[in-house]
C-alpha cells in the first residue's frame, strides 16, 4: 500500500507541477510578449520623433541658408548699387544750382534711409550676424526698425541676470520673436508692442505683447506663422503659449529652461 501511495503522490504532484509549470510559462510568455511589443512601439515612436526633428531641422537650416544668401545679395549687390547712386547724386549736387540741390539733398536722404533699412534687413537675415550678437541687441534692432516706421510705439524691458544661450538656440528664439512681430505688423492692427525678457534662476521668460485687435483662439485656426513658431519651439524644447482675446490684444510667451542650453 505505501508503494501505491507513493506512486499516486508522484503522479499527482508531478502532474500538477507540470501543469502549473505550463500555465506559469504561458503567462510569463504573454507578459514578455506584451513588454516586447511595448518596447518596439516606444522605439518606433522615438524614431519617428527623431525623424520629425531632423526633418524640421533640415527645413530650418534650408530656410536659414536662404536668408543668409538673401542677406549677402542685399548687402553686396543692391546695397552697393544704392551707395553708388548716392555717390553720383553727391557729385551732381556739388555742380548744380540751388533748387536742384534741394531735390538732390532730399533724394540723398531717401537713399540714406534705403541704405540703412537695407543694412538692417540684411543683418536680420544674416545667420552669422544674429548668432554673434546677444538676443537683447537683436530684439532691440527689430524694435528699432518697427519704431522707424512711425506706426508703432515699442517698449523693451529685461530683468534678472542673463545666462548663456547657445548661438543656435539664440537664432531660433530670435526667429520666433521675429515671427511674433511679423504677425503683429501684418494682422494685429496694433500701435504698441512691448517685449519683456525675464531671467530667473531656472528659465528665461520672454513675453511679446501688443495692443491690437486680438483674435478668438477657438475660432481662428493656426496660421503658418504660429505653426512655424510651434515647430521652432519644439526644436529647442521651449514652451510656447499664446493668449489672445478679441479687442484686447495678444500676448505670446516663450519659456526657455536654463538647463537646456
Q: Return the residue of 10, 27, 87, 110 that touches another protein, per CB under 8 A.
A: 27
CA 138/CA 131 separation, integer angstroms: 9
> Is-contact 210 248, C-beta < 8 A?
no
> Please, which residue, 42 or 73, has the CB nearer to another protein?
42
Q: Return the residue of 10, 20, 55, 110 that touches another protein, per CB under 8 A.
A: 20
CA 130/CA 13 separation, integer angstroms: 79
Please state the closest distance from residue 50 (CB atom) to another protein, in A: 19
250-257 and 203-210 strand pairing: antiparallel
Q: Return the residue of 31, 58, 84, 100 that touches another protein, per CB under 8 A.
A: 31
- The SS3 call for residue 249 is coil
CA 87 to chain centre: 40
Binding of residue 162 to another protein (CB under 8 A): no
Binding of residue 33 to another protein (CB under 8 A): yes
Instruction: Tell me the number of residues near another protein by CB under 8 A.
Output: 23
Q: Return the residue of 19, 81, 87, 100 that touches another protein, per CB under 8 A.
A: 19
Extract the C-alpha cell encoding 129: 550676424
**Which strand ranges, in their side-by-side order, compose the sheet holding 192-199?**
153-159, 192-199, 203-210, 250-257, 239-244
Binding of residue 1 to another protein (CB under 8 A): yes
Which of the residues 95 through 134 are near another protein (CB under 8 A)? none
Binding of residue 32 to another protein (CB under 8 A): no
Please state the closest distance from residue 230 (CB atom) to another protein, in A: 25
Binding of residue 41 to another protein (CB under 8 A): yes
CA 25/CA 33 separation, integer angstroms: 12
Q: Return the residue of 23, 62, 87, 227 that touches another protein, per CB under 8 A.
A: 23
CA 134/CA 240 separation, integer angstroms: 21
Binding of residue 47 to another protein (CB under 8 A): no
CA 261/CA 177 separation, integer angstroms: 18
Please state the closest distance from residue 20 (CB atom) to another protein, in A: 5
First vs last Cα of the chain: how many Å apart? Answer: 82
Positions touching another protein (CB under 8 A) are 1, 4-5, 8-9, 11-12, 15-16, 19-20, 22-24, 26-27, 30-31, 33-34, 37-38, 41
Amino acid at each position: 500500500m505505501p508503494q501505491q501511495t507513493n506512486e499516486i503522490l508522484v503522479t499527482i504532484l508531478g502532474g500538477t507541477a507540470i501543469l502549473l509549470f505550463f500555465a506559469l510559462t504561458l503567462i510569463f510568455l504573454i507578459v514578455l510578449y506584451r513588454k516586447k511589443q511595448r518596447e518596439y512601439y516606444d522605439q518606433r515612436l522615438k524614431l519617428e520623433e527623431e525623424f520629425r526633428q531632423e526633418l524640421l531641422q533640415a527645413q530650418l537650416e534650408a530656410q536659414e541658408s536662404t536668408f543668409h544668401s538673401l542677406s549677402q545679395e542685399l548687402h553686396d549687390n543692391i546695397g552697393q548699387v544704392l551707395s553708388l547712386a548716392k555717390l553720383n547724386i553727391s557729385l551732381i549736387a556739388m555742380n548744380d544750382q540751388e533748387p536742384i540741390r534741394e531735390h538732390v539733398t532730399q533724394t540723398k536722404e531717401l537713399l540714406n534711409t534705403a541704405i540703412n533699412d537695407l543694412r538692417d534687413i540684411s543683418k536680420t537675415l544674416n545667420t552669422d550676424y544674429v548668432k554673434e550678437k546677444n538676443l537683447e541687441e537683436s530684439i532691440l534692432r527689430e524694435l528699432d526698425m518697427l519704431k522707424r516706421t512711425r506706426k508703432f510705439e515699442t517698449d523693451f524691458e529685461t530683468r534678472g541676470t542673463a545666462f548663456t544661450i547657445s548661438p543656435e538656440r539664440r537664432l531660433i528664439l530670435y526667429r520666433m520673436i521675429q515671427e511674433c512681430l511679423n504677425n503683429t505688423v501684418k494682422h494685429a492692427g496694433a500701435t504698441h508692442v512691448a517685449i519683456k525678457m525675464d531671467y530667473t534662476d531656472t528659465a528665461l521668460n520672454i513675453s511679446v505683447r501688443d495692443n491690437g485687435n486680438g483674435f478668438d483662439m477657438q475660432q481662428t485656426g493656426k496660421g503658418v506663422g504660429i505653426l512655424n513658431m510651434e515647430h521652432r519651439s519644439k526644436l529647442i524644447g521651449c514652451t510656447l503659449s499664446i493668449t489672445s482675446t478679441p479687442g484686447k490684444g495678444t500676448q505670446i510667451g516663450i519659456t526657455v529652461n536654463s538647463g537646456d542650453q
